[in-house]
């Protein structure tokens, strides 16, 4: 994954994070380069979601030391909305429903928030149709209310649609496989693979290997008790599948 001639899109430097006085992230270093998909694995409670919240600037996750660099700029002190504007995106594990608000109106609103100005309706419609075509989505999807009555797969497809329209530099995808059957999993994975390009990158957070059978990562990092305890290539996934995480427990001491 590392290329010394190219700067990373996302760099996390010796990050320490606390929640209600308890340290949950204990000195993490990460580098994510353009065009890459990095898998962040670990058992429940290892700190994966805490890291995603800290990256996005959730006020309950206090950065005590270290820094978060996005495309060469230090964003450690920025609010979540400002991080989104400069190109960071978090795909939620359990996105909320918004009855009464159509998908189309919601998407136009978030595009306005990122741009800082209204998106002309004709331009928006053209972008929306193109994005939905890329993800092989029915146009009628845009008329439904946001996540209201959506299946697990439909919720994740809406997250992908947001990614396409917002075109973030880095997307942090928190357990996108959660609650999906095999068919929905394939659809979501295909969407991620379609929109990955040399100017963006994905941090894929999961504790199961099944999503990684469809989205082959360029590298794998294992987190336990807030620390990185192993890193390597896709072969590390197979080792975890065979042995679980117990063989790494000693490295958390």
- Model pTM score: 0.88
- pLDDT of 122 strictly over 90: yes
Q: What is the dihedral of CA 19, 43, 223, 22, to 10 degrees?
A: 20
Section 150-166 average pLDDT: 88
When pLDDT is cut at 50, 70 and 90, the band that residue 4 belongs to is very low
- pLDDT of 145 strictly over 70: yes
Q: What distance in Å separates the CA atoms of residue 168 and residue 199, rounded to the nearest whole number?
A: 9
Q: What distance in Å separates the CA atoms of residue 180 and residue 177, rounded to the nearest whole number?
A: 6
Residue pair 16/66 in contact (Cβ under 8 Å)? The answer is yes
- pLDDT of 60 strictly over 90: yes
CATH top class, domain 10-252:
alpha beta
The burial of 100, by beta-carbon neighbours within 10 Å (0-12 exposed, 13-18 middle, 19 or more buried), is given as exposed
- The pLDDT assigned to 171 comes to 93
- pLDDT of 162 strictly over 70: yes
- pLDDT of 1 strictly over 50: no
């Amino acid at each position: 994954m590392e290329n010394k001639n190219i700067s990373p899109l996302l760099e996390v430097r010796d990050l320490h994070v606390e929640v209600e006085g308890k340290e949950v992230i204990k000195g993490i270093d990460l580098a994510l380069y353009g065009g890459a998909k990095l898998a962040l694995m670990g058992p429940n409670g290892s700190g994966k979601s805490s890291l995603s919240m800290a990256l996005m600037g959730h006020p309950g996750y206090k950065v005590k030391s270290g820094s978060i660099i996005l495309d060469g700029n230090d964003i450690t002190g920025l609010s979540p909305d400002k991080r989104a504007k400069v190109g960071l995106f978090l795909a939620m594990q359990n996105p909320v429903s918004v009855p009464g608000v159509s998908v189309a109106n919601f998407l136009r609103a978030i595009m306005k928030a990122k741009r800082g100005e209204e998106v002309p309706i004709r331009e928006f419609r053209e972008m929306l149709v193109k994005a939905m075509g890329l993800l092989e989505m029915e146009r009628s999807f845009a008329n439904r209310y946001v996540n209201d009555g959506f299946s697990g797969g439909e919720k994740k497809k809406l997250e992908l649609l947001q990614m396409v329209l917002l075109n973030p530099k880095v997307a942090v995808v928190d357990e996108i496989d959660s609650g999906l059957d095999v068919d929905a999993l394939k659809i979501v994975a295909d969407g991620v693979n379609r929109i990955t390009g040399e100017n963006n990158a994905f941090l894929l957070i999961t504790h199961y290997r099944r999503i990684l059978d469809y989205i082959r990562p360029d590298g794998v990092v294992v987190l336990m008790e807030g620390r990185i305890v192993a890193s390597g290539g896709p072969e590390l996934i197979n080792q975890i599948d065979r042995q679980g995480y117990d063989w790494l427990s000693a490295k958390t001491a």
